[in-house]
């Protein structure tokens, strides 16, 4: 029986009132904070890849609390590296360095961090509220979205490959095609045919996506951290000034926060954009619209911190709109989140809105609560967190390797998984080195199986006439328009995030 959305929202909140769920949320917040503050190399994709094998064996809500808690907070606390070290933060906080670091050097590091936390918290709440408002709008989609429509939505998601590849579309296509190929390993659902199994029981169900993700993002990152020895040579800016000056700045610039938050939500919803561009778009918007920006931006203007940070945090709400309500991921982190949901038996998309609305609201609540906790953590522990940023790579690298191998083994307790994780890790290292975008491969892997099923079912049920269904036509037009616009914007924008993805794959 379907329940009203209000009841679902109330139930979603009530479901969180369990010690283990709240504890998992706090652990997630801690992991997210650590990830954001510790030296580069630990991005959210890596954290998700490492957590996935563990949490898919938990109860869904506990696992979701951990994952969403981590990703939600990592954006809020991402300003430490740009402000204190002048290192562009993880995806979404790269633009913060332009004004954050000059502020830090000028003795206003605390003010910059305060502005960042406050703007981030406000952005997170705006993104979450937008998600809440989008849920009722998504309900009628349930009756419109059959296999043909879902196939087009998946195609729309896969079109992201072109964007993820930046200026190397051919390499992106190769990586995505390899992901699609890997998705075919195992028994084909519609025919029962074993593909690429070679009579090996290990391959009957295909290769675990969580192991591949762990390998592709974990091992190259750990190697990179060891080889570049980040966190050793940089001298931090002094942690001076007042956090509350930054809070006042954000509150005074509330309209900028609102505008940039909606830029973030929009980036989250439109396929192909992501955390690699959200901060730059918001920064660009602020630079064009703020009074006196031409003179002050780039020299330590607090508005240059507020704009990217609010947009970056609001983007998560937009990401979840497409992930939960339409069922296609916006990047690696949401792709891995979908992998987790599938492992728990939930099929993200219109079906989930109908069958598990309380779970969707639980996710919304977790997102909101984590945002608030993250903001508070930022304020209360700013001094201690700044010390974390100086953590040495010699400590991080062994820990990372240990968790990667343990994580891989914990999936099935099959020693073959260790061989697989190391093999794909080596592949990931070379992909990174030669500029083949790993997110494109993960995307192909996650979407490949679903796309194949939806296309097969569409053809079997309707023949080619499914292409003329009104909802399919509308979705195809939308997909093509957003693809062309995004690609054009990307090419006009020069290097942009495509390069950063190719090298660092930091997008969410």
Interacting residue with other proteins among 199, 233, 415, 464 (CB under 8 A):
199
Nearer to other proteins, 89 or 206 (CB): 206
Per DSSP, the three-state class of 231 is coil
Tokens of 354: 């109908």
Q: Report the C-alpha gap between 202 and 212 in whole angstroms.
A: 14
Residue 97 host element (H or E):
helix 96-105
Interacting residue with other proteins among 23, 205, 473, 494 (CB under 8 A):
205
Q: Report the C-alpha gap between 330 and 309 in whole angstroms.
A: 19
- Position 11 contacts other proteins (CB under 8 A): no
Nearer to other proteins, 335 or 450 (CB): 450
- Position 146 contacts other proteins (CB under 8 A): yes
SS3 string, 264-312, reads HHHHHHCCCCCHHHHHHHHHHHHHHHCCCHHHHCCCCCCHHHHHHHHHH
Q: Cβ distance 137 to 402 under 8 Å? A: no
Judged by CB under 8 A, the chain residues 105 through 144 that form the site for other proteins are 142-143
Interacting residue with other proteins among 18, 26, 59, 298 (CB under 8 A):
59
CB of 25 to other proteins, least distance (A): 20
SS3 string, 401-422, reads HHHHHHHHHHHHCCHHHHHHHH
One character per residue 434-453, x = contact with other proteins (rule: CB under 8 A): -------------------x
CB of 412 to other proteins, least distance (A): 7
Judged by CB under 8 A, the chain residues 224 through 263 that form the site for other proteins are none
Nearer to other proteins, 59 or 245 (CB): 59
Q: Report the C-alpha gap between 469 and 472 in whole angstroms.
A: 5
- Position 54 contacts other proteins (CB under 8 A): no
CB of 61 to other proteins, least distance (A): 12
Nearer to other proteins, 11 or 412 (CB): 412
Measured in whole angstroms, the distance separating CA 230 from the mean position of its chain's CA atoms is 23
284: Cβ–Cβ under 8 A, 6 or more apart, which residues? none
Per DSSP, the three-state class of 187 is strand
Q: Report the C-alpha gap between 53 and 314 in whole angstroms.
A: 28
Q: Cβ distance 76 to 117 under 8 Å? A: yes
Nearer to other proteins, 418 or 499 (CB): 418
Interacting residue with other proteins among 133, 227, 460, 484 (CB under 8 A):
460
Judged by CB under 8 A, the chain residues 305 through 364 that form the site for other proteins are 343-345, 347, 351, 354-355
Nearer to other proteins, 460 or 484 (CB): 460
Interacting residue with other proteins among 3, 14, 133, 193 (CB under 8 A):
193
Interacting residue with other proteins among 4, 17, 170, 191 (CB under 8 A):
191
- Position 27 contacts other proteins (CB under 8 A): no
* CB neighbours of residue 474 within 10 Å: 13
- Position 456 contacts other proteins (CB under 8 A): yes
Q: Cβ distance 222 to 69 under 8 Å? A: no
Q: Report the C-alpha gap between 285 and 90 in whole angstroms.
A: 20
CA neighbor of 94 nearest in space, from 86, 84, 106, 102? 86
Nearer to other proteins, 200 or 384 (CB): 200
Q: 275, exposed or middle or buried, with CB in 10 Å at 0-12, 13-18, 19+?
A: buried
CB of 457 to other proteins, least distance (A): 6
Nearer to other proteins, 289 or 412 (CB): 412
What are the residues binding other proteins (CB under 8 A)?
Answer: 57, 59, 142-143, 146-147, 187-194, 197, 199-202, 204-205, 343-345, 347, 351, 354-355, 412-413, 453, 456-457, 460-461
């Amino acid at each position: 029986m379907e329940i009203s959305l209000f009841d679902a929202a109330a139930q979603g909140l009530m479901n969180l009132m369990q010690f283990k769920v709240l504890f998992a949320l706090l652990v997630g917040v801690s992991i997210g904070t650590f990830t954001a503050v510790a030296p580069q190399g630990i991005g959210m994709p890596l954290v998700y890849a490492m957590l996935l094998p563990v949490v898919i064996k938990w109860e869904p809500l506990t696992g979701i609390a951990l994952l969403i808690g981590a990703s939600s907070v990592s954006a809020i606390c991402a300003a430490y590296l740009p402000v204190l070290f002048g290192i562009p933060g993880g995806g979404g906080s790269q633009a913060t360095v332009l004004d954050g670091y000059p502020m830090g050097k000028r003795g206003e590091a605390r003010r910059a961090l305060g502005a960042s936390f406050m703007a981030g918290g406000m952005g997170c709440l705006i993104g979450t509220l937008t998600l809440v408002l989008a849920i009722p709008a998504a309900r009628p989609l349930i009756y419109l979205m059959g296999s043909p429509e879902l196939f087009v939505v998946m195609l729309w998601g896969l079109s992201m490959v072109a964007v993820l590849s930046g200026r190397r579309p051919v390499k992106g296509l190769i990586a995505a095609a390899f992901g699609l190929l890997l998705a075919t390993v195992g028994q084909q659902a519609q025919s029962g045919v074993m593909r690429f199994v070679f009579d090996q029981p290990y391959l009957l169900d295909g290769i675990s996506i969580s192991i591949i993700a762990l390998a592709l993002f974990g091992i190259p990152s750990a190697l990179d951290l060891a080889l570049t020895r980040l966190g050793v040579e940089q001298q931090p800016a002094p942690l001076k000034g007042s956090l509350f000056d930054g809070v006042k700045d954000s509150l005074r610039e509330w309209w900028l926060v609102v505008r940039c938050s909606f830029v973030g939500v929009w980036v989250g919803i439109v396929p192909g954009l992501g955390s690699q561009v959200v901060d730059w778009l918001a920064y660009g918007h602020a630079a064009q619209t703020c009074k006196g920006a031409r003179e002050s931006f780039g020299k330590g203007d607090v508005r240059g911190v507020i704009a990217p940070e609010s947009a970056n945090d609001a983007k998560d709400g937009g990401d979840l709109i497409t992930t939960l309500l339409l069922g296609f991921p916006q990047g690696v982190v949401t792709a891995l989140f979908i992998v987790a949901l599938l492992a728990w038996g939930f099929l993200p998309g219109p079906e989930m809105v109908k069958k598990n609305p309380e779970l969707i609201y639980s996710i919304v609540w977790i997102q909101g609560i984590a945002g608030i906790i993250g903001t508070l953590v930022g304020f209360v522990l700013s001094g201690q967190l700044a010390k974390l940023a100086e953590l040495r790579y010699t400590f991080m690298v062994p820990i990372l390797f240990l968790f990667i191998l343990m994580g891989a083994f914990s999936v099935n307790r099959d020693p073959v998984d260790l061989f697989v994780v190391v093999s794909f890790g080596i592949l990931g290292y070379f992909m990174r080195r030669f500029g083949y975008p790993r997110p494109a491969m993960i995307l192909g892997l996650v979407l490949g199986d679903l796309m194949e099923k939806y296309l097969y079912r569409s053809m079997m049920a309707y023949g080619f006439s499914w292409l003329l269904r009104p909802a399919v036509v509308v979705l195809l037009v939308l997909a093509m328009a957003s693809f062309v616009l995004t690609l054009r914007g990307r090419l006009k924008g020069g290097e942009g995030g495509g390069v950063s993805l190719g090298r660092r794959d930091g997008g969410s």
